[in-house]
Copies of this chain bind each other. A is one copy, B any other.
């Protein structure tokens, strides 16, 4: 079953080869993001595609020195537009839905990349303000995640998962 295989094969890749990623493939990942579900179909997201090396290096600094970010030829920054959700849903839209919706979009990107054997790494540990400043993002685009996109330079074992028995309760 292809979907389950892709879900289980995905890893956080922290080493990349420098080979180019075709822009059609990047566009496919963004197309996957675009088809994520969102509360009330608000689609409260914006995606920035960074390819220039100086900007990729700046993102390394923004993310506390995670050097592998700049190894990949492409970095996608995923932004939440909280006000777009809040217009319809108030604070629940601002503090929950827009974060969930963008996270679903990120997960689609990671899976679409894995299906192409491309590596990604969901990065949340970065300075949002510094990121906005470096990329000159508008105020309504809050960067909530970023991921490098590149050909894998490593093939890590999966990280251990908690057993189903520990995380599922049948009522």
Contacts and interface: CB of A to CB of B under 8 A. Distances in A.
A10 B47 CA distance: 21
A interface SS class: helix
Nearest to A169: B48
Contacts of A82: none
A119 B169 CA distance: 21
Contact of A106 (B46, B100, B144, B162): B100
29 contacts: A1-B115, A2-B2, A3-B32, A3-B115, A4-B28, A4-B32, A7-B36, A7-B111, A7-B112, A10-B37, A30-B164, A31-B164, A34-B161, A34-B162, A35-B161, A37-B122, A39-B122, A41-B159, A47-B168, A48-B171, A49-B171, A55-B171, A95-B95, A96-B99, A100-B103, A100-B144, A100-B145, A103-B103, A135-B171
Contact of A46 (B124, B167, B170): B167
B162 A43 contact: yes
Contact of A167 (B43, B95, B99): B43
Interface in A1-15: 1-4, 6-8, 10, 12
Given A3-B112, A35-B8, A170-B49, A107 B97 contact: no
A126 to B, nearest CB: 10
